[in-house]
Chains A and B, each alone.
Chain A
Amino acid sequence: MGWQKKILRVDLTAGTCVAEPLNMDWANQYVGARGLATRYLMEGMDPAADALSPENNLIFANGPLGGTMASTSGRYVVVTKGPLTGAVACSNSGGKFGAELKFAGYDLLIVTGKSEEPVYLLIEDDDVSIKSAAHLWGKTVWKTEETLKAQHHSEDMKVASIGVAGEQGVYYACIVNDLHRAAGRSGVGAVMGSKGLKAIAVRGSRGIRVDDPKRFMQVVKEKNAKLWIDPSRKGLTKTGTLAMIDVMQSFGGLPTNNFKDVQFDGVGKINHKAVTTKDRNGHQNLITNKACFGCTIACGRIAHVDKDHFTVSNRKEYWHASGGLEYETAFAFGPVVGVDDVNALTFANYLMNEHGMDPISFGVTLAAAMELYEMGVLTLEQTDGIPLTFGNAEALTVMAEKTGKFEGFGQELALGSKRLCEKYGHPELAMVVKGQEFAGYDSRAMQGMGLGYATGNRGACHLRHDTFTQDFEDIGTTGKAEACKTSQDDVSAIDSVGICLFTASAWDLGDLADQLDAACEGEWTAERLRESGERTWNLERLFNMKAGLTMADDTLPPRMLNDPVKTGTAKGNVNELDVMLPEYYSLREWSESGVPTDAVLKRLDLGAFSL
């Protein structure tokens, strides 16, 4: 148990909703969430299909620990083919939506086809219906959630929806649940919009059965105690991830002005100290922290914008608390675009949640546009009269809103960095891998991070591997390939269990296996989980290769490979991908051109997917 052993298939073309048993053979091999959804995706579509066509599948998936009393069990994933990358997309979110879907009785929700008219999906346990969303189309995420809760007289209803960005196909549109938690990366919201699906509203009343309740409660208690005393957990509770901005500034890996620099003079105005200190107007940005379902970490931040700030002084609708700055949002609205106005950063974050867009991709795309503007490639006339200069807080917030509403130059920013820079003749300025924008770590200062970006199955991402410790301890390449490969497999396993990656500082795979073993039938060990993670990683790789990607996509922008970093611990370094990549392929038992060999496919029972 742990699983509900049931999935829900919704065919929007046919207008049908059908429940069916979960394939337990696949569950035993892929566990749940990321792994299991990828297995269903591989079965359900041609990887070569257009990501924004009806042929794409959109899968919402829980893991076996999702919705249980295990800590951080509110995580769910959205798996699909990403329009931003043309690769497999697995976007992870917290909040309460995922657990509610499981309480309604479903491990996975698979959406296929396309509705000719806008619709939303209403799930109330076994009662599932497709309803007209004519009154919701064109509304923001926040308005959509408010409208659905009022319409169904249910404050307890959990809603995942898209804004205009998703409707209009902004390449990095996301799916937002619970107002400010998001399946953020790779454009999963654009896939939802392409299907005419505005929202999913869920009410679930069922519990989740576990195999050995008494042992499960005891194991969870032990693991929670271990998590509680962990120094990283304490840090995340106190400061959220925003503390990382001081670390990256000190280390010299904080991407600044579209990755031209790695240290930012304005960091003291946007760091944890800044958001917890009253400014000269007596305004303190941070209000409190917040936890997702079942979480004992509570890294989430709740903040508010100063009412006198230029962004909201005449807009009372924004005089409320909402999601505050985390490291990635602070990086994406701060250093990488050169802005040090904490209220502008916070307002930009509001806009991302309200309109449903990935902050990382938006920020890095705006940074590329700013570099194009400062080079003279873009003009004031093209940018709606807004000077796109690094450090311009007004440009940040105005362009965030224009993109969210798909207006003016926002329609250009909606393309993402790769397509924007190609359109204006400077593809080298796009800080992307496979079309997806870098996160807030410079890959010249952090070699392992660069390898993780380059080999990431969903493109550049900091959450698909974990080489932080190795990169901070050693600026060279030694051991990075092995650390990258091993952690990719481990993270794949963690993402498949249905709990949060932020437990990983305290819990190893053995701790997860102990909880799974009590919750689910069968015997679960760390080794079995790691093998499952490796299987998932290889299956994602096979999906991408069937979609047309090759080893040529396992690379970094020329700036990372050729331009030495100017300051910081790794001053003078470039990323030595050419050293690490062959070793990485070898460790993965892939050919020299990055193709999984028959031997590894056989070992992982993936022979049926051989290229």
Chain B
Amino acid sequence: MKVKLDLSGELDDQLPDSAVQAWATPDGGSLAQLVSSLPFADRVALTSVNGVMVPPDKRNAYILNDGDEVMMLPPIKGG
């Protein structure tokens, strides 16, 4: 299946646009598996799926569906 990635901040240039629009991930895979498959996994701090935030400790149990929109935020604070 394929999901759409929304990469914010310093992550926004980590993948080509084509990959961001349709990132392949195994059917029935979890959000945690998706994050760990990315080359910048260590810089993903926060995630949301279809606009709903998914905390790090819930990523293993969160099973993705084809077409999901997954937003990833780097660790970042104010300023």
Contacting chain B: which of A157-165, A175-183, A237-245, A285-293?
Answer: A237-245
Q: In whole angstroms, what is the CA distance A234 to B8 when docked?
A: 15
| Interface of chain A: mostly helix, strand, loop or mixed | helix
B12 touches A231 (CB 8 A): no
Decide if B73 touches A247 in the complex (CB within 8 Å).
yes
A590 located at the interface, meaning its Cβ lies under 8 Å from any Cβ of chain B in the complex: no
How many interface residues does B have (CB within 8 Å)? 23
Expressed in whole angstroms, the minimum distance between the Cβ of B42 and any Cβ of chain A is: 6
Given that A299-B79, A462-B78, A502-B79 are contacting pairs, would A273 and B10 also be in contact in the complex, using a CB cutoff of 8 Å? no
A contact residues around B6 at 8 Å (CB)? 250
Q: Does A505 contact B (CB under 8 A)?
A: yes
The bracket for how many chain A residues form the interface is 35 or more
- Given A273-B13, A472-B46, does the pair A243, B76 have CB atoms closer than 8 Å? yes
**Selected contact of A328 from candidates B9, B42, B48, B79, CB within 8 Å:** B79
**Does residue B45 face the partner (Cβ distance < 8 Å to A)?**
yes
Residue of A with least CB distance to B6:
A250
8 Å CB contact of A241 from B43, B45, B46, B79? B79
A250-B42 in contact given A241-B78, A327-B79 (Cβ < 8 Å): no
Task: Compute how far the CA of A249 lies from the CA of B6 in the bound complex, rounded to whole angstroms.
Answer: 11
Query: What is the CA–CA distance of A285 and B72 in the complex, to the nearest angstrom?
Result: 27
**Does B29 belong to the interface (CB within 8 Å)?**
no
Smallest CB separation, A289 vs chain B (Å)? 13
Q: Tell which of B9, B53, B78 has the most Cβ of chain A within 10 Å.
A: B78
Contact A244 B46 (CB under 8 A): no
Distance of A502 Cα from B77 Cα, bound (Å): 8
Contact (Cβ within 8 A) B77 A466: yes
CB distance A235 to B46 under 8 Å? no
Known pairs A232-B75, A504-B77; A246 contacts B53 (CB<8 A): no
| B31 beta carbon closer than 8 Å to chain A | no
Please state if A247 and B76 are interface contacts (CB–CB under 8 Å). Answer: yes
Chain B positions within 8 Å of A502 at CB level: 77, 79
- The 0/1 profile, CB within 8 Å of B marked 1, for residues 240-274 of chain A is 11011011011100000000000000000000110
A475 CB within 8 Å of chain B? yes
With A235-B10, A326-B79 known as contacts, the answer to whether A475 contacts B74 (CB < 8 A) is no
* Chain B residues within 8 Å of A439, by CB: 78
**What residues of chain A lie closer than 8 Å to B77, measured between beta carbons?**
232, 466, 468, 502, 504-505
Interface residues in B21-79 (C-beta closer than 8 Å to A):
42-43, 45-46, 48, 51-53, 55, 71, 73-79
Q: Which residue of B lies closest to A241 (CB)?
A: B79
| Additional 15 contacts, C-beta under 8 A, given A231-B43, A247-B74, A328-B79 | A231-B42, A231-B74, A235-B76, A239-B9, A241-B78, A246-B9, A247-B76, A249-B8, A250-B71, A251-B73, A466-B77, A502-B77, A568-B51, A569-B53, A571-B51
